[in-house]
Amino acid sequence: MAKRKLPNRPKAMGGGLSGGGQMGMMQQLQQLQEQLLSEQNKLATEKITGTAGGGAVQVTITGDQRCQDVKIDPAILQDGDVELLQDMIITAFNNALEKSREMADQRLSPLTSGLGGLGLGL
């Protein structure tokens, strides 16, 4: 009786990997972790400004979403419309947050997309 050739199958994560395979994966994960940390540190130094009211209110945050500055054009204070000012601050802050999230996604997604290929189930 002739032997059938079985299709190649990936080895299981557990004991099926040789020591070299596990070390290679650990090195890849360590490199990825270092790259992620580096990008996160860069994001923390970048500033993003969100605006409202045609620039009458400006909120500046960092890429790691920490508020750095709020600027309000004194001309909008003359009307004394506190609710309008509050709404513009919220709008500017949310605008800055959205820009920050988009920037972080653009920077980090190329790194995190590779995690699924490492068998981590991400």
Give CA–CA dist 109/118, Å, rounded.
15
Give CA–CA dist 66/60, Å, rounded.
9
- This prediction has a pTM of 0.65
Would you state the pLDDT for residue 80? 86
Average pLDDT, integer, range 86-100? 95
Helical segments of the chain, H only: 19-45, 82-112
- Give, as one character, the DSSP assignment of residue 113: G
Q: Max Cα separation, the chain?
A: 96
Residue 112 confidence class, pLDDT cut points 50, 70, 90: confident
**β-sheet bridge partners, residue 48:** 61
The single residue listed with the structure tokens 């040789």 is 18
The single residue listed with the structure tokens 């990825």 is 32
Q: For 43-86, what is each residue's pLDDT tens digit?
A: 889 999 999 999 999 999 998 889 999 999 999 889 888 999 99
Helix (H, G, I), strand (E, B) or coil at 57: strand
Domain residues of the chain, as ranges?
Answer: 48-111
CATH architecture for the domain at 48-111: 2-Layer Sandwich (3.30)
Contact 111, 39 (CB under 8 A): yes
The single residue listed with the structure tokens 């299981």 is 12
